[in-house]
Amino acid sequence: MDRIVIDGSYGEGGGQILRTTLCLSAITGRPVRIENIRARRKKPGLAAQHLTAVLAAAKLCDADLNGAELYSKTLTFTPRAKPRAGDYLFDVAEARQGGSAGAVSLVLQTVLLPLALAEGDSRIILRGGTHVPLSPPFDHLHDVWLPIINLMGIRAELSLERFGWYPAGKGEVLLKTNGIGGGRGRLQPLNLPDRGELIEISGRALAANLPDHVAKRMAERASAILRQKNIPCEIAPVSIRAACPGAGIFLIARYERFIAGFSALGERGKPAEQVAEDACSKLLEHHRSSASVERYLADQLLLPCALAEGESVFTVDPLTRHLSTNAWVVEHFGIAEVEMISTSATAGLVRVLPKS
């Protein structure tokens, strides 16, 4: 079988190219070579969470590897078996001496689809950062991403066993899947040209190892902003324990036909109110648009849509470079065509047409 060569510097040039390539290589059995890995990032090459994703995907399909080491910019990945269901443990801290708070969400998004399409049930423990910058927080995966792909036919559930914030990490997530077998073509497509009316906003403000008033201030500021816009909301302040201090707010917008998620994380010296304002700004930007899918979710839906049994349609505002880059990777595997049709200066209609 011919090896697919992927240029990791294409488009946004980040880790999404690597994760999509690994996922599709495991599912299709196509060997790949990825060059210029994360070339457009400040520190190119495989960081701890990316190396963990490589090793995890390889374990699922007994892949032969070359270049699987920290900071490597070139990787060959050759599956030798179909993805196998089973019990797995993947710990980002093991990828780098001294540990790492690398995002478990990025590892999870690499392995979930291959296991969900395999024969049999799986139980996967993932350790590392659960609420860290530049990655979907656990709340987004649990409350938005997973419910949507479960609607498409995936059978999986997530639970948070321990919180993990930057820089200590040490969080833990449990993923369970009931494999549907049969590989690609078993998922239902998405048909979401519009989202319908807003029903409610819910969410939680989290503060780890910090005074209770931090979570309360985030929740109260977010509630005040949304109620000024006559948007009903229910945001709970929650104080928790973790390996290090951390804070963040996570908002879920429930529309008639879809769900959208928005978040912001605290930083040293950043007021709790500003964290809430940042998350509300993202939510309101999406709400003012007519898009069915928010910008942070759109590129994550391309893979399940490409593996579905029919055409998927959704709208997004804006059409991002992340989205077009992920579409480019999908099309390299020849499993689907992705059309992105501009409908305004920033928004567009996305059509994903799987190939038989």
pLDDT 10s digits, 89-131 = 999 999 998 889 999 999 999 999 999 999 999 999 999 999 9
- Give the strand pairing for 312-316 and 191-192: parallel
The DSSP letter of residue 77 is E
pLDDT band at 183; cut points 50, 70, 90: low
Residue range 177-191: mean pLDDT, rounded: 85
> What stretch(es) of the chain map to CATH 3.30.1370?
290-356
Residue range 151-177: mean pLDDT, rounded: 97
Q: Which fold has domain 290-356?
A: Ribosomal Protein S8; Chain: A, domain 1 (3.30.1370)
CATH class for domain 195-287? alpha beta
* Alpha helices in the chain, H assignment, sequence order: 15-28, 48-61, 104-116, 138-140, 146-151, 212-228, 272-288, 295-306, 321-332
Q: So what's the pLDDT on residue 122? A: 98
Residues 6+ apart with CB under 8 A from 91: 52, 126, 127, 128
Residue 185 above 70 pLDDT? no
Residue 18 above 70 pLDDT? yes
Least confident of 96-100, 133-137, 340-344: 96-100
Q: Which fold has domain 4-183?
A: UDP-n-acetylglucosamine1-carboxyvinyl-transferase; Chain (3.65.10)
Average pLDDT along the chain: 96
Residue range 45-68: mean pLDDT, rounded: 98
> What stretch(es) of the chain map to CATH 3.65.10.20?
4-183
Cα separation, 311 vs 209, whole angstroms: 47
Cα separation, 213 vs 88, whole angstroms: 39
Could you tell me the CA-to-CA distances from 32 to 45, 47, 54, 212, 314 in Å, in that order? 16, 19, 12, 49, 29
Residue 184 above 80 pLDDT? no
Residue range 339-354: mean pLDDT, rounded: 96
Per residue in 203-252, pLDDT (tens digit) is 999 999 999 999 999 999 999 999 999 999 999 999 999 999 999 999 99
Tell me which of 131, 140, 286, 322 is the catalytic residue.
322
Residue 181 above 80 pLDDT? yes
How is residue 175 written in tokens? 């993923």
Residue 12 above 70 pLDDT? yes
Which uninterrupted H or E stretch holds 250? strand 246-255
Q: So what's the pLDDT on residue 98? A: 86
Active-site residue, 287 included: no
Q: So what's the pLDDT on residue 252? A: 98
Q: So what's the pLDDT on residue 1? A: 73
pLDDT band at 54; cut points 50, 70, 90: very high
pTM of the model as a whole: 0.96
Residue range 41-67: mean pLDDT, rounded: 97
Residue 312 above 90 pLDDT? yes
Cα separation, 223 vs 117, whole angstroms: 40
Q: So what's the pLDDT on residue 265? A: 98
Residue range 148-176: mean pLDDT, rounded: 97
pLDDT band at 315; cut points 50, 70, 90: very high
Count of Cβ atoms closer than 10 Å to residue 271 Cβ:
14
Phi, psi torsion values for 4, nearest 5 degrees: -85, 130
